[in-house]
Structure 1
Amino acid sequence: MTTWEYSTIPLIVHSTKQILDQWGADGWELVQVVPGPGGNGLVAYLKRPTGER
């Protein structure tokens, strides 16, 4: 069975693609993007199989 590790990262609007591309290159898969705390900015939730680094 696959086990997962998770991460949350803030997204900077003018650098969203670059940020997600870098995390994707490290094996992370985007799960969801939601408004940040208090409606400030965006937060991305990512996952990858445990042990992929």
Structure 2
Amino acid sequence: MATKWEYATVPLIIHMTKAILDQWGSDGWELVQVVPGPGDGLVAYLKRPLEA
């Protein structure tokens, strides 16, 4: 059976990037990609398996 995923997009504040990603990671989220966001910002795309 294929894994089902849930996704999140998270704005990253440049001087707090590690803290933000560490918090999401501790909640079970896996970083998929970081892309440029509005202005000088970044946006992180994350995923984690749905609970069965």
TM-score by length of structure 2 reads 0.90
Residue 45 of structure 1: how far off its partner (Å): 0.1
Give yes or no for the alignment of 1:3 onto 2:4.
yes
Aligned residues: 51
Greater helix share, 1 or 2? 1
Percent of aligned pairs with the same amino acid: 76
Tell me which amino acid in the other structure corresponds to 2:26. A
Q: Kindly report the root-mean-square deviation, in angstroms, between the aligned alpha carbons of the 2 structures.
A: 1.4
> Aligned residue for 2:35?
34
- The separation in 1 between residues aligned to 2:40 and 2:13, in whole angstroms, is 11
- Structure 1 runs of 4+ aligned residues shifted over 4 Å read none
Matched, 1:44 2:44: yes
Q: CA deviation at 1:40?
A: 3.4
TM-score by length of 1: 0.88
Q: What amino acid sits opposite 1:46 in the alignment?
A: L
Q: Whole-Å Cα distance in 1 between the matches of residues 19 and 41 of structure 2?
A: 16
For the residues of structure 2 that align with 1:40 and 1:6, how far apart are their CA atoms? 23
